[in-house]
Amino acid sequence: MLGDVVETLACPHCGADLAGDTAGLRCAAGHTFDIARQGYVNLLTGTGSVGTADTAAMVAARVDFLGAGHYDPIADALTAACADAAPGTLVDVGAGTGHHLARVLDALPGRYGLALDISKYALRRAARAHPRMGAAVCDAWRPLPVRTGAAARVLNVFAPRNPPELHRILAPEGTLVVAAPTTGHLAELVPALDLLQVDADKQTRIDAKLAPWFTLRARQSVTFTMALDHTAIAGVVAMGPSAWHTDPDRLRSAIADLADPLAVTASVTVSAYDPVRRLPNP
């Protein structure tokens, strides 16, 4: 694993710094972690909430859909939000296949990225997504295996977020960048394919949950139209949360009734938050 990325990692058992080589990582207390053949390190302790990990099929669908460029405007907005990042590693929490982080790193020569996710299928891809990216399996709901203040930027794109931990790993001068869908996201597909609807108050809830730890600095609306053929429509369903709830036969026949290609709206917000400065504990 890349030395510069290892320098941001902390032991998930005791919080000490991790060091190592291509074979594995260890902390001073002797906790050891293997690096998988595919290049990611497993820093998951216990069983974690692995029930929400993207499956192999979801990851394959995501690779194809993102690789076709359908969400490029989202990657562009994330890249713009990271353009002035202070020195240091960029950490993507719930990074999936590392697609967006790779795009951000392309625009920041010499910078390193760390992809965190609970899905080993996703991280097999992330570990190879960019020569300056490392990948570690962990649970976003538990203490993150990242040193305090080690992240110049923390990204969180359609993924779970645990505000106190995002705050802890972010450098005091760093920025948290969150991408979240609006209620208009995939609006043409939601009723036609009986997909999960994004709540109208999702953004308000995200802001409220982050509020004790972060203040909103800037928000951009990213809305665009995609021309999706039936394969791409099946892919966007298969890679998202509706994949857990949809009957494959019903989905296939509902997709067959749609125009091919179909104009589908993508609608997300990309928000930049400053960390609230906290007084040290007495």
Ligand X SMILES: C[S@@+](CC[C@H](N)C(=O)[O-])C[C@H]1O[C@@H](n2cnc3c(N)ncnc32)[C@H](O)[C@@H]1O
CB nearer to ligand X: give 28 or 57. 57
Nearest-Å Rg of the Cα atoms of the chain is: 19
Report if residue 159 touches ligand X, rule: CB under 6 A: yes
Neighbours of 42 (CB within 10 A): 16
CB nearer to ligand X: give 46 or 280. 46
Footprint of Zn ion on 24-43 (CB under 5 A): 27, 29, 31
Report if residue 49 touches ligand X, rule: CB under 6 A: yes
- In the complex, least distance from residue 141 CB atom to ligand X, rounded to whole angstroms: 5
Report if residue 162 touches ligand X, rule: CB under 6 A: no
Question: Rounded to whole angstroms, how far apart are CA atoms 59 and 240?
Answer: 10
Q: Which of 108, 159, 105 is nearest to 129 (CA)?
A: 105
The edge-to-edge listing of strands for the beta sheet with 170-181 is 41-42, 133-137, 113-117, 89-93, 151-157, 170-181, 262-275, 214-228
Q: Residue 181: in which H helix or E strand, if any?
A: strand 170-181
Tell me which of ligand X, Zn ion, none is bound by residue 100, counting a contact when its beta carbon lies within the kind-specific cut-off of 5 to 8 angstroms: ligand X
Tell me which of Zn ion, ligand X, none is bound by residue 188, counting a contact when its beta carbon lies within the kind-specific cut-off of 5 to 8 angstroms: none
Residue from 52, 79, 183, 197 binding ligand X (CB under 6 A): 52
Footprint of Zn ion on 232-261 (CB under 5 A): none
Q: At what angle are helices 99-106 and 56-67 packed, to 10 degrees?
A: 40
Measure Cα distances from 228 to 2, 158, 179, 261 in Å.
37, 20, 21, 5
Neighbours of 84 (CB within 10 A): 9
Tell me which of ligand X, Zn ion, none is bound by residue 104, counting a contact when its beta carbon lies within the kind-specific cut-off of 5 to 8 angstroms: none
- In the complex, least distance from residue 10 CB atom to Zn ion, rounded to whole angstroms: 8
Report if residue 95 touches ligand X, rule: CB under 6 A: yes
Q: Residue 153: in which H helix or E strand, if any?
A: strand 151-157
Residue from 7, 141, 190, 224 binding ligand X (CB under 6 A): 141
Residue from 20, 94, 113, 134 binding ligand X (CB under 6 A): 94
Q: Are 185 and 74 in contact (CB under 8 A)?
A: no
CB nearer to ligand X: give 47 or 281. 47
Q: Phi first, then psi: give them for residue 205, nearest 5 degrees.
A: -65, -40
Report if residue 200 touches Zn ion, rule: CB under 5 A: no
Residue from 3, 14, 164, 220 binding Zn ion (CB under 5 A): 14
Q: Are 227 and 263 in contact (CB under 8 A)?
A: yes
Question: Rounded to whole angstroms, how far apart are CA atoms 181 and 280?
Answer: 35
Residue from 6, 9, 10, 11 binding Zn ion (CB under 5 A): 11
CB nearer to ligand X: give 152 or 242. 242
Residue nearest to ligand X (CB): 96
Residue from 1, 10, 43, 118 binding ligand X (CB under 6 A): 118
What is the binding site for Zn ion (CB under 5 A)? 11, 13-14, 16, 27, 29, 31
What is the binding site for ligand X (CB under 6 A)? 49, 52-54, 62, 94-97, 99-100, 117-119, 122, 139-141, 157-160
